[in-house]
Amino acid sequence: MTEAIHAEGLSKTYNGKVKAVENVAFTVNAGEAYGFLGPNGAGKTTTVAMLTAGLAPTAGSAVVDGIDVFANPNEIKRRIGIVFQESTADSDLTGRENLELAAALFSVPRKEVRGRIDSLLERMQIGEAADRLAKTYSGGMRRRLELAVGIIHAPRVLFLDEPTLGLDPQGRAGFWRYVEELRKEHGMTVFLTTHYLEEADGLCDRIAIIDHGHIVATGTPSELKDRLGGDVVTIKPTRTEPTLAALLQTIPGVTAVTLQDGAYRVKGTNGEQLVPALVETCTRANVGLASVSLKRPSLDEVFLEFTGREFREDDSVSATDRAVRIGQVQQAFGRARR
Amino acid sequence: MMRALVALTRREILRLTRNPQAIITSLMLPILYLILFGQAFNLQNLGGGRVPSAYFLEAFRGAPSYFSYFSAGMTGFVAVTATLFIGANVIFDRLFGVLKRTAASPASAASIFGSRLIAGSIQPIGLAFLVLGLSILLGKLGLAGLDITANVTVVGALEILLAIVILSAMFASLFLAVGFSIETPQTYFAAVNAINLPVLLTSAALYPWGTMPPWFQNIASFNPITLAVNVLRENLFAGATAYYPYGPGVYLLGLLAWALAMFTVAILLARRALAPKR
């Protein structure tokens, strides 16, 4: 199978101190949808910036569509499309003018420009607003315009950096439907970063979980879930009992027991059947229970398994936070100027 | 490269024309100078009109009145007030992601910079002629106004046009250099304010040449606004060439040298700003 993206030992350290990405290596096959999943500050955007020739790496190499990214940045830019997490369309141009500009910058053959733009505007359901200034668009329309701008030149590889950030669930679903259609029709390779677990689960053929600049797991969504070894029952006792883990391990059907943040994560093939036995064992051991929860295998659980913490927002200000703030500023400016 | 340059220039011009506030702000200062300062600072009234006109002709380098002399200066000053928005747009484009999108495309740094430079050099032309027109109109309304006493030839008109374009290109380069080097609007406008006033106050746009001490004349002689308004004044006022040591061609060459120097600095800074981040 042809490789669309190959990264080897990719690292980025900012100001010689902050290690954003460290020794990342992965391969994305042509036509594949590959997801980079991780919380804010994990290194997703930094990786995309390096793969799209927007950021020089501290170490490592990357080949995209057969071209060395760092040796031929201009050639890479011709072959790829990018949808950024923040809005980048020009508010003072109409939707159509934004697309005309992108077509010229990416050297779309002149004869094809009009047809491609009309087709994209219709497909993204912004045809009726095509001649309105982009600053009058809703958030969903702007995102769809961003996607249209990103694919006007029919790129071989499309990078989507948290493209649905700030959209409501309906808008997100619509956006991914367009991406999926494009992928099927054109065999486009899609590299996406997201911290919406269900998006990665639904769209990606394979996923890499990235945390603190390291890839901690890769595989198809089902492979990753299978690695959990079935359902997970989380028992939070009122007090810690050193022998409890060993006792729980003896229950038939339990495959693994781990203690994380004062709670026991019990893996088993059938969680529902395990719960009564687990409660009974705790009662017999004279351990009170604060809570018991059952979770089916999900990427949320996968993330917890491989990183040892819940999939949640970090406290630090990240690129995503900045993007949201910029979006708010843009909206405020847009309103003031209308 | 050419296709990207044309498309990006079109975008810049569309943006400028769709923001009337920017155009009004560009004109605000020169027009206020014309209708307030220019009317009140009427030097011919000194001495109850008994000062010989020859003295004024000398002081205003051939211009028939202070207002005529001064309005030519304000026409040049428009190049400064209009082009500062070209640099400001770089800051806002960076803030709102547009620059990131453009830099992620195969468009070269030269075309991204060049498009802004072209738009910045063209846009002030209309505004400059608007200031000239308004200055003439004020005279027709019975106020102090611009009195063009020379027969402006086609060559003269072209020289005036060229002076405005080169002066605009020079200031567009300067403000683009600032815009590509600075990240926040606050810092940009602080830097622009620190440039604007000293440039205006060390030029011959405002002060009568004859009232300046020689050391100030020496400084003002090299000011780019002075070089441009010299071209305007030599062409607009009959006999003015006698008061200038050089013809308009020399001042245009001086202006061109300024523009080239500023262009070189600006394109280097733009390339650095648009290169992949390290």
Which chain B residues are closer than 8 Å to A82 by Cβ? Answer: 104
Average pLDDT rounded to a whole number, residues A312-317: 46
Number of structural domains (chain A) is 2
**Quick one: A218 and A283 in the same domain?**
no
Contact between A326 and B95 using a beta-carbon 8 Å cutoff: yes
Per-residue confidence (pLDDT) for residue A337, from 0 to 100: 41
Burial B47-81, CB ≥16 within 10 A → b, else e? eeeeeeeeebbebbbbbbbbbbbbbbbbbbbbbbb
* Residue B107 C-alpha, separation from nearest chain A C-alpha, in angstroms: 6
Q: What percent of chain A is predicted at pLDDT more than 70?
A: 91
| Cβ(A212)–Cβ(A206) below 8 Å | no
Distance, in Å, from the CA atom of A253 to the CA atom of A234, rounded to the nearest integer, reads 15
Per-residue pLDDT reduced to its tens digit, A147-199: 999 999 999 999 999 888 777 777 778 788 888 888 888 889 999 998 777 78
Distance, in Å, from the CA atom of A224 to the CA atom of A230, rounded to the nearest integer, reads 11
Domain stop point among A224, A258, A286:
A224
Domain of A87 in residue numbering reads as 3-224
Length of chain A equals 338
Per-residue confidence (pLDDT) for residue A307, from 0 to 100: 77
Per-residue confidence (pLDDT) for residue A225, from 0 to 100: 79
Which CA distances in Å does A241 have to A286, A293, A308? 9, 19, 21
Per-residue confidence (pLDDT) for residue A309, from 0 to 100: 67
Per-residue confidence (pLDDT) for residue A314, from 0 to 100: 45
**Quick one: A33 and A55 in the same domain?**
yes
Flag residues of chain B having pLDDT under 70. none
Per-residue confidence (pLDDT) for residue B158, from 0 to 100: 97
| Cβ(B259)–Cβ(B233) below 8 Å | no
Encoded tokens for A314: 């970090």
Q: What is the largest CA-CA distance in chain B?
A: 69
* Residue B18 C-alpha, separation from nearest chain A C-alpha, in angstroms: 7
| Cβ(A29)–Cβ(A1) below 8 Å | yes
Per-residue confidence (pLDDT) for residue A1, from 0 to 100: 63
Distance, in Å, from the CA atom of A62 to the CA atom of A76, rounded to the nearest integer, reads 11
**Quick one: A26 and A169 in the same domain?**
yes
Which CA distances in Å does B5 have to B8, B14, B110, B264? 5, 14, 8, 18
- Residues in a beta bridge with A189: A157
**Quick one: A79 and A189 in the same domain?**
yes
**Quick one: A187 and A249 in the same domain?**
no
Per-residue confidence (pLDDT) for residue B194, from 0 to 100: 93
Does residue A88 belong to the interface with chain B, where contact is any CB pair within 8 Å?
yes
pLDDT over 70 at A40, yes or no: yes
**Chain A residue with minimal CA distance to B97?**
A88
**Quick one: A49 and A143 in the same domain?**
yes
Q: Estimate the share of chain B in helix, then strand, then coil, as percent rounded to the nearest 5.
A: 80, 0, 20
Nearest Cα residue to A299 out of A199, A179, A211:
A199
Per-residue pLDDT reduced to its tens digit, A199-209: 888 889 999 99
pLDDT band at A312 (very low <50, low <70, confident <90, very high): low
pLDDT over 70 at A323, yes or no: no
ipTM of the complex: 0.86
Per-residue pLDDT reduced to its tens digit, A260-311: 888 888 888 788 888 899 899 998 888 888 899 888 777 777 777 777 766 6
**Quick one: A257 and A185 in the same domain?**
no
**Quick one: A158 and A218 in the same domain?**
yes
- CATH number where A259 lies: 3.30.70.100
Per-residue pLDDT reduced to its tens digit, A216-235: 999 998 888 777 777 888 98
pLDDT over 50 at A320, yes or no: no
Which chain A residues are closer than 8 Å to B15 by Cβ? Answer: 90, 92-93
